[in-house]
A and B are shown apart, each in its own frame.
Chain A
Amino acid sequence: MPPHLLHIPGVKIGGIAAAVPTESVPISAFGEEFGHDYIAKFSAATGIKALRRAAPGQTASDLSFAAAKRLLDERKIRRGGVGLLIFATLSPDYRRPATACVLHKRLRLSADCGAFDLGLGCSAYPYALAAAASLLAVSDAPHALVLAGETMTRNINRRDRSTVMLFGDAGSCTLLEKEEGSDIQALLKTDGEGYRDIIVPAGGFRNPETARGDEKCADGAVRSLDRLVMNGMNVFSFSIGDVPGAVKEFYGATGTSADDYDLFALHQSNRQILSQIAEKIGAPAEKIPLCLADYANTSAASIPLALSAALGGNDSPDPLRTLFCGFGVGLSCAAASAHLVPREILPPAETDESFKEGEIRALADLEE
């Protein structure tokens, strides 16, 4: 059976913005704890030299809000024309409501606007693009927003040497617009067998108890049930096997090849994985934006952040045919294609601001 390709007519990407917190932590700062040899090997394999860490109290929605506000203001988007907001994250502000509703309020969007969260991680960006573009295509609204953000530094155990240097914090916003003749295509894939390969086992409703403490694992790393636990070997195998396989399926289903794309916007997992994927899908290195060295892996935000860092400030009005590919926790993977106009992409902004009203520390804070 041919792959289940999504054809989404009449929608284009009209702008991208990203935001990061100001604190940059150099990888060398972990040398004391994990050994300088380990750090050197890690950095050589992953290409990561530093990561951004959110300020106390700052969340993924704060970072994404900053990106969204700037993009909407700069592009002078009428708030009433935004018919949909999707927030892609696994780091919500609360257990409920959906953080998209908080962002809806903060961005002063109209009541005539759908808002919901999309719970995926490193694959979330192309998934959210596909979901938002599909809904926009059948909606009367002119605009939709995809916000994608993560505070991965809060999801990892700070003593876990296998993950603590891999991830950083960032937020983003992508504007989708109606445009006759512009199409977005997407392919969504899942390997549910790998649900345990990247997991925070405790704190959900299957296992609400989080107080179990740190354990030393067979590989010498320290982990805990309430923080990210990753089977690095399975994730690597998925990333260099299934992921390029999915891109090749996408080529087949869309009748395209690597030569048809000007840009390959790949999830910034780590350099070793990216170079293997690039080789298999025929993507030349100069067409792959990279931002691992400065920002590490920012999960759902990594693709828009990489585009913002690489193309922000570029005044070119010429559209670039772009292939997107996100992959990770799920295990989940998506490929998509769309056009990007460099001058519609803003460079990354820095912010430590957070939503003070949202800090509900006592029930009295909820009384009007």
Chain B
Amino acid sequence: MDQFIQDFAELFDEPGRFAPETEFKNDPDWSSLSGISVIAMVDKKYGVALKGRDIQKARTLADLYQTVKEKQA
């Protein structure tokens, strides 16, 4: 989980503020471009193809990580 938070945070200019309970879509820097960066990062580092609805359904970063793990299984 920590590694996932770190990988996620690296997509942003100031990565210090992210935690498992962060509601990432409410972040002021979040945009549809960020969604695309997340899909690209998860594809590259976790070998899993997230869809837009996976990101829409996830509220927190922990939710998102859970989805990635389920897809890996």
Chain A interface residues (CB < 8 Å from chain B): 41-42, 45, 162, 197, 219-221, 231-234, 236-237, 240-241, 272, 276
B31 on the interface (CB 8 Å rule)?
yes
Using a Cβ cutoff of 8 Å, how many contacts connect chains A and B?
A: 46
Closest to A276 in B: B40
Determine whether B72 belongs to the interface, using a CB cutoff of 8 Å to chain A.
no
Interface residue? B32 (CB, 8 A): yes
A233 with B49: CB separation less than 8 A:
no
The answer, among B32, B35, B49, B52, for a CB contact under 8 Å with A221, is B32
Besides A42-B33, A232-B36, A233-B36, 10 other A-B contacts (C-beta < 8 A): A219-B31, A232-B33, A232-B35, A232-B52, A233-B50, A233-B52, A236-B36, A240-B40, A241-B43, A241-B49
Asked if residues B40 and A233 are in contact (CB atoms below 8 Å), the reply is no
User: Looking across the interface, which residue of chain B has its beta carbon closest to that of A234?
Assistant: B52
Q: Is there contact, CB below 8 Å, between B52 and A220?
A: no
Please tell me if B51 contacts chain A, counting CB pairs below 8 Å: yes
Contacts A233-B51, A237-B49, A237-B52 known; A219 to B43 CB distance under 8 Å? no
Contact yes or no, A240 B52, CB < 8 A: no
- With most chain B CB atoms within 10 A of its CB, the pick from A42, A220, A234, A237 is A237
Q: Is B19 an interface residue (CB 8 A)?
A: no
Query: Considering the chains assembled together, what is the distance between the CA atoms of A220 and B43 in angstroms?
Result: 26
7 CB contacts below 8 A, A to B, read: A232-B33, A233-B50, A233-B55, A236-B36, A236-B40, A237-B51, A241-B43
Residues of chain A within 8 A of B40, CB atoms compared: 236, 240, 272, 276
Knowing A231-B52, A233-B55 touch, does A45 contact B33 (C-beta < 8 A)? yes
What A residues does B53 contact at CB under 8 A?
234
B39 interface hit (Cβ, 8 Å): yes
A233, B35: Cβ atoms closer than 8 Å: yes
Q: What residue in chain B is nearest A221 (Cβ atoms)?
A: B32
Q: How far is the CB of B15 from chain A (nearest CB, A)?
A: 16
- In the assembled complex, the CB of A166 is this many whole angstroms from the nearest CB of chain B, namely 12
Contact with A along B23-46 (1 / 0, CB 8 A): 000000001110110011001100
Taking a contact as CB atoms closer than 8 A, the residue among B31, B43, B44, B51 that contacts A234 in the complex is: B51
Complex CA–CA separation, A115 to B31 (angstroms): 44
Residue of B nearest to A217 (CB): B32
Minimum Cβ distance to chain B for residue A145 (Å) = 37
Chain B residues with CB under 8 Å of A42's CB are: 33
Is the CB–CB distance between A233 and B43 below 8 Å? no
- Whether the pair B32, A219 counts as a contact (CB closer than 8 A) is yes
Complex Cα spacing A272 to B40, Å: 9
| A197 CA to B51 CA, complexed, in Å | 11
- Name the B residues within 8 Å of A241 (CB-CB): 43, 49
**With known contacts A219-B31, A233-B39, A240–B51 Cβ distance under 8 A:** no
Closest to B25 in A: A218
Question: A130 CB to closest chain B CB, in angstroms?
Answer: 26
